[in-house]
Every structure is written in C-alpha cells, then in structure tokens.
Structure 1
Amino acid sequence: MTTTSRIEWTEQTWNPTIGCTKVSPGCKHCYAETLSRRLQAMGLDAYRHGFRLNLLPERLEEPRMRKKPTIYFVNSMSDLFHERIPDHFIDAVMAVIADTPRHRYQILTKRHMRLSAYFAERPVPSNVWLGVSVENRRHGVPRIDALRNIPAKIRFLSCEPLLEDLGDMDLSGIHWAIVGGESGPKARPMQPEWARAIRRQCEAQGVTFFFKQWGGWGADGKRRSKKANGRELDGRQWNGMPDAVAATAF
C-alpha cells in the first residue's frame, strides 16, 4: 500500500516490491531490513518472509486511485532494479507511472548496471526522477556516470549514509544531491566536512542540495538520537528540491 512518508524529501511511499539483498557498504545497517523484521513480528502478511524479496502485483494500481498530485518514493523497502525482479514486472511499474502523469516518482537504486541496461531499451517516463546511492568512492561514485547517461527528467544522488569524503566529483547532468548521516543503533558517524564538500561542489556546478539529517552522530561527534541531532548544517537547513520544469532531459 502507499503510505505517507516521514522521509523529508518525498510525500508518499509506494512499494510494489519489498525485500532486498546487500550489494555495498551502504547496505550494512539497512533501515528497510530492520523495519521489515518489525513488520513481520507484527504479523503483516506481506512481510511474512521478513526481508526476502517479494513481488506484490496487487499494489500496482494504488497510485491510480490517488487523484491528488503526489511525489512518490518507489520501493522504499526494496530496490526496483534488483536482479531477481523480472523486466516484465518493472515494465508494469513503469506503465502505471506513465499512466499517472499527475504524480512524480522518485526511484533510487544501487544497481546502476541494471538501471542502465533496462533504460537502454525503453523510454524513461517524463514524470520519473532517477537516482543512485553514493555512499563512498569505491562503490558509490562510479554509479554517477551510469546515471548521467540516462535521459531522465531529473537525475539525483542520495549520499546517505555518507561513509567517507567523496573527493572531487563530476556532477554534470545531475540535478539534485541528498546528503545524510546514518541512523540506528549501529550508525557510522559522518564528518561535517564530507557534507560541506558535497555542498560546495553542488553550488559550483549548479546542483540543488538537500541536507537530510546527521543521523546517530551529531556535527560535534557526539552520539544522540537522530531527532536530537537535527537537520542543520552550518546553522541552517538545506531543503533544496529540483525544479522539474527547468531541468533539461537529453
């Protein structure tokens, strides 16, 4: 089902699949896996197998039923481009997206090779925002090149959990960057300078910047709750959202 989201950069979540497997260090303390175990314990049928990949075709039509224009985060509890999700199911998701132009859909993946291969043979719906996770240099930064070459209206980076300084990045063709630290009991700390470096590069290269959270470690290096650490970077919030009208596709 679609659900009102607490994620600061979206409005609703839509999960036509749930479950995933780990592919890189950003997955180590996956919030979706933790939440899936909790929902399994609560007896929700969709989560009866915990975080095992599960296709839910009965959820495909849900966005059609919502008349209010909405920003949807697609598969907050999974990865739409997981290798075990067949192309025909992704096609069905894209058909719903294309048929509901009143909504905007944010799709985030760590599987950039599958993302590229899929859209090499298919058009990208104009109301889709495509993003890749960029948690570190080794696994995350190479995903940017794959994303840059896909003709989506909005292309974005989720640098969360940010695990190290990402160095100098080529952000050409990228419209939006989200930065955040890791939350949860085993959160790894994010250094303030890592976030500032991304912000500076966004400003220099014309990319909209969004600072989501410090997570479990504050800017002062102290362990607190995510709420207590807040969302301010250098004394203010950074809530930039991309301008879908101004963004230029290929």
Structure 2
Amino acid sequence: MADNTTIEWTDSTWNPVTGCTQISPGCDNCYAATFAERWRGTDGHHFENGFDITLRPDRLTLPLTWRTPRRVFLDSMSDLFHTDIPDAYIAQVFAVMALARQHTFQILTKRHGRMKALLSRPAFWHLVADQGRKHFTGCQQDWLAVGAMLDGKPLPNVWLGVSVEDQKRADLRIPALLETPAAVRFLSCEPLLGPVDLKRAVIPMGSERGHGLTASYVHVAGCCQRRLHGIDWVIAGGESGPRARPMHPQWARVLRDQCEWAGVPFFLKQWGAYAPEDHGHDRGSVVLIDAQGRNWSGREGDAPPDAVHMRRVGKKAAGRLLDGQPHDAAPAAAR
C-alpha cells in the first residue's frame, strides 16, 4: 500500500485512511473491500477492522520520506471525502501534500458533493494551514503557500478526479468536479458499466462551445480553448474479479474518440476479466452484450447489430489494447 503498485496510471499508493462504504454500482465488486474483509477479526493485522473506515495517522508523513518525485494515488483503499472522515484529518492530508511538493498526488472520489463543498471554502484552507503548523515541520513559507489557496489558487501538485461508471454518474459527478478548484481534473471511467457521453456532461445540448454550468464554475487557464472544458485526463477500464461485468468495446471507443476530438489525454487501463472475441480470443465462457449493456446470451437471433461476444479470459490475457493499439496518454506531472 505504499512504494510499489500494479496500478498502471500511477507510481505509488498512499493510504492515510482505509475502509469505505458502497455508494453506487461501481462499488458492487470493490477489490479493496474484498481484500480487506478477508482479514476482519485477525488480531494485529492491518485490516483487523475489515473495510470499516479507519484513520491511519502513522502513515500521514510517508510521502515526506520519498525523495524521488513520483505520482502518488491517494487512498486506493478508501475515499478521502467519505462523510466519516473528519475535516481536520482531511486538512492534515492536504498539509502533507503541500509540503511534499516534489510529488504529484492523484485523488479519486465518488463523494463529489463533499469534495466540492470542502475545497471551495476558504475556511478549509485556514484549517489546512492550522493543522500543518500543529502537526508537521514546515517553514513559514510553506504555510504562506497554503494560504495562497485563499485566493482560489489550487495546489499545483494535486490532481482531483471522480469515478464515472455510467452516464448517470457522469451527469452527477463531472459538473461538481468542474466546479471544484484543481490544478488538474481527471475522470476514472472504471469499471465502465455503460455508455458515457462526455459532451453531454460537460457541454450543453446544441452548443459546440461553452461549459453550460453555473455561474460558480471555476475556470482554469485555457479551459475555454478546449472542447471538454476543464477535463484534463480520462482513464477507462473494464472490471476484473470473480463477479466482473463485461465492458462493451464501443464504450471505450466513444471515450477515446471524444478525447481525441477534444485534445484530452486518454488512458486505457485494462479490459478486465472479459475481452472482445474478435480480439483473437477463442477460449473462455462467452456473453453477448449490446451497446446498452443488455445481455443477449441464448437469444442471439434477437440481438441488435451492435451486440458483441465477450469472452472471459482473465485480466492478464485480456490485455490493454483497443483496436490493436495501447493508449497510455497522461498529463505531465507537476514540477
């Protein structure tokens, strides 16, 4: 849970909190919950409490011990903006990130409402500075830098992202993300459980330009010169694990094509447990799904033209190629 990780789009993970609760369909087969609950009740184990929310103050200063700059995925085993995590503790996490300026921190949440409300309040950044002075070693200039947040300048080494597994969650979470101060905003469309039209979530119907959000929309440098205003990165991926749901290839293609249209980096993390049969797979159980995610297995004659056969071959065999190509684009790390 620290130095090394197999997550393709980051270098390290940092978990000052562990545990979470389900909030949407993307949580149904959560790998973190499955892993943690195996150890519930095991005396002395890191996950003795299973997947209950557990603060880990002993891990707060871990990034300060890493000298080599790296991308750090924060709370891969939790959600920093969960309602059971106190504001003061979240402020301590942000104070550490303010001090560890050599690293780029990637925060991913499904709690878009609390993220927006907390990070948009000047009082929170006062709390960050206060908690930093109280708990961590730092010169006065460090906390003056945090104070700059009071002028609406986000920490340059902190990226904020929301999970987007389907259109409903896109329409809920993306506007909140766009209204939250951030140096870089990204989407994790994993597990991708249905079609997602990013234009619908970002750009108003019938408009080629303009974000169509509220007056409190937070502009970032050059955002209105881009077509997906304020979105800097899109990650997509299918689901793995014993109860994995297949990802229709068209869902990934639409995201890729919209990112190419908008000039936004696109990263395909994985196919997951299932891969398209036409990718050369001839083994494994088969399901037939259409572009709306409906299962037509056993009713092939009634299936619509966009239905495709997906074979359960496992994450490793399924790979990461879309139409024969890898997609590994990402924003530049903070300097």
TM class by smaller structure = over 0.9
Aligned equivalent of 1:177, options 204, 227, 234: 234
Name the stretch that deviates more: 226-235 or 162-171: 162-171
**Does the CA contact (< 8 Å) of 1:94 and 1:125 recur in 2?**
no
Distance 1:176 1:158, change over 3 A: same
Moved more, 149-158 or 99-108: 149-158
Aligned pairs for 1:103-142 within 5 A: 103-121=103-121, 122=125, 123=149, 124-142=154-172
Distance change (3 Å), C-alpha of 1:7 and 1:65: same
Q: Aligned partners of 2:95, 2:252: CA distance in 1, in Å?
A: 37
Q: Which residue of 1 aligns with 2:79?
A: 79
Q: Provide the residue aligned with 2:20 in structure 1.
A: 20
Counterpart CA distance in 1 for 2:262 and 2:113 is 25
Q: Secondary structure at the match of 1:146?
A: helix
Q: Which consecutive residues of structure 2, in runs of 5 or more, have no partner in the other structure? A: 126-148, 203-227, 278-309
C-alpha deviation, 1:37, in angstroms: 2.3
Contact 2:157–2:334 (CA under 8 A) maintained in structure 1: no
Task: Specify the alignment match of 1:228 in structure 2.
Answer: 317
**What is aligned with 1:242?**
331
| 1:190-205 correspondence to structure 2 within 5 Å | 190-205=247-262
- Report the Cα distance in structure 2 between the residues aligned to 1:158 and 1:206, rounded to whole angstroms: 17
Q: Hey, what's the Cα distance between the residues in 2 that align with 1:50 and 1:165? A: 33
**Residue deviations 1:109-130, cap 9 Å, x none?**
0000000001111433210010
Q: TM-score, normalised on structure 1? A: 0.94
Q: Is the aligned partner of 1:61 residue 2:118? A: no
Residue in structure 1 matched with residue 303 of structure 2 by the alignment: none
Query: Could you say if the C-alpha distance between residues 92 and 36 of structure 1 is closer, same or farther in structure 2, counting changes exceeding 3 Å?
Result: same
Distance, in Å, in 2 between the alignment partners of 1:141 and 1:3 is 35
* Shift in CA distance, 2/39, structure 1 to aligned 2, threshold 3 Å: farther
1: distance between equivalents of 2:120 and 2:26? 26
- Equivalent-residue separation in structure 2 for 1:63 and 1:44 (angstroms): 24
Structure having the larger proportion of residues in helix = 2
Distance verdict in 2 for CA 1:137–1:44, change over 3 Å: farther
Give the structure 2 partner of residue 93 of structure 1. 93
Name the amino acid aligned to 2:117.
A
Further displaced range: 38-47 or 179-188: 38-47
**Could you list the runs of 4 or more consecutive aligned residues of structure 1 that deviate by over 4 angstroms after TM superposition?**
39-44
- 1:165 — aligned with what? 195
- Partner of 1:203, secondary structure, is helix
TM-score (norm 2): 0.71
- Counterpart residue type for residue 13 of structure 1: T
CA RMSD in angstroms comes to 1.6
- Residues 1:152 and 2:241 are matched in the alignment: no
Identity %: 49
CA apart distance, 1:50: 0.5
When Rg is computed on C-alpha atoms for both structures, the one with the higher figure is: 2
